[in-house]
């Protein structure tokens, strides 16, 4: 649970930054290289920091104006063999597994919620797989489409934008979701029309009993709770060090399958299933967004109660 800070510090603020870092119990392996940075000019300060201390330190560095005239880079440390590191992690307030580095989370969400060709490609492929899963009633294909879908990132971006007041992330996320789903759905409709023209599928495949995929076009009282719980899990995975849990979130929600079912309904003229698919999609998006916003608010309130900094000199005082 260790992160590495690489800080470019204006020369006239180096002493106060070094004092800040030296006094914090979560900091170790502190390095100061005066005058080595050329653009922007300044000193280079590097240190390893217990994950639970990073958010506070970044806030303090920003108060000193370091990011305006210098820079702060946050990097993961996969392995560190050091008694000093172990001591810093023990002394730091809170727990690294629960810690939230807000600047890192916001930056990641901003990057991953932008509309790109890759985003559209993955969303389209996921929707095509989900459409084939519905036609063949294949749970394996459906799970593949769910896992491949990248739509959770912009949903998380909207929630982060609302909670932290970042309008730019909200705009990027809404643009990615709107255009991404529009492109994916349109291409899936074309694909389904091709299947219909070739005689490989027809409306009978949608109307038949589909034990593995029928739930997509039958939203019920469980749709919202499942989406809500998935949204909570997704935000916890995104804001903590447990990002591997996001795969379970992707499999739990039916946003991509609902878009695929809508495309199939339009292509085959099954307007009732299309309408139910839109309802399923809306329920899932609403559940995820509500859960994400509430989870972020709870996390912010919780971390305000955790001691932000414990100066090293206080730990050295006999109790």
The pLDDT tens digits of the residues spanning 62-101 come to 888 898 889 999 988 888 888 888 888 787 776 666 677 7
The mean pLDDT of 195-216, rounded to a whole number, is: 87
The mean pLDDT of 179-206, rounded to a whole number, is: 92
Are the CB atoms for 132 and 138 separated by under 8 Å? Answer: yes
Q: Which of 223-237, 264-278, 301-315 has the lowest mean pLDDT?
A: 301-315
Residue 151 has pLDDT above 50, yes or no: yes
Task: Name every residue whose Cβ is closer than 8 Å to that of residue 95 and which is 6 or more positions away in sequence.
Answer: 1, 52
The backbone torsions φ and ψ at residue 253, rounded to the nearest 5 degrees and listed phi first, read -105, 155
DSSP 226: H
Q: Is the peptide bond before 40 cis (omega within 30 degrees of 0)?
A: yes
- Residue 215: the pLDDT is 87
The mean pLDDT of 254-272, rounded to a whole number, is: 92
**What is the C-alpha to C-alpha distance for residues 240 and 225, in angstroms, rounded to an integer?**
23
- Residue 94: the pLDDT is 66
Are the CB atoms for 133 and 257 separated by under 8 Å? Answer: yes
Global pTM reads 0.79
**What is the C-alpha to C-alpha distance for residues 214 and 212, in angstroms, rounded to an integer?**
6
DSSP 24: B
Task: Name every residue whose Cβ is closer than 8 Å to that of residue 139 and which is 6 or more positions away in sequence.
Answer: 133, 212, 213
């Amino acid at each position: 649970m260790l992160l590495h800070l690489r800080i470019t510090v204006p020369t006239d603020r180096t002493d106060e930054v070094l004092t800040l870092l030296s006094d914090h119990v979560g900091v170790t392996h502190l390095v100061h290289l005066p005058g080595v940075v050329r653009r922007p000019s300044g000193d280079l300060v590097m240190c390893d920091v217990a994950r639970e201390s990073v958010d506070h330190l970044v806030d303090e560095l920003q108060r000193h104006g370091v990011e305006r005239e210098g820079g702060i880079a946050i990097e993961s440390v996969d392995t560190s063999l050091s008694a000093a590191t172990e001591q810093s992690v023990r002394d730091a307030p809170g727990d690294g597994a629960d810690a939230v580095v807000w600047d890192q989370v916001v930056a990641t969400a901003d990057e991953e919620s932008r509309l790109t060709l890759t985003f559209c490609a993955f969303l389209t492929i996921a929707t095509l797989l989900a459409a084939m899963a519905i036609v063949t009633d294949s749970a394996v294909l459906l799970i593949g489409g769910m896992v491949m879908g990248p739509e959770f990132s912009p949903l998380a971006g909207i929630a982060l934008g609302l909670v932290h007041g970042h309008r730019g992330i909200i705009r990027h996320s809404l643009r990615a979701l709107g255009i991404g789903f529009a492109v994916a759905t349109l291409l899936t409709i074309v694909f389904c029309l091709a299947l219909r023209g070739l005689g490989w599928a027809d409306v009978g495949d949608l109307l038949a009993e589909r034990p593995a995929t029928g739930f997509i076009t039958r939203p019920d009282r469980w749709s919202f709770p499942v989406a809500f719980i998935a949204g909570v899990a997704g935000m916890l995975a995104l804001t903590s060090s447990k990002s591997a849990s996001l795969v379970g979130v992707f499999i739990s929600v039916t946003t991509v399958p609902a878009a695929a079912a809508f495309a199939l309904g339009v292509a085959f003229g099954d307007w009732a299933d299309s309408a139910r698919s839109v309802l399923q999609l809306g329920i899932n998006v609403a559940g995820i967004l509500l859960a994400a916003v509430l989870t972020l608010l709870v996390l912010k309130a919780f971390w305000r109660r955790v001691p932000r900094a414990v100066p090293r000199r206080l730990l050295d005082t006999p109790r």
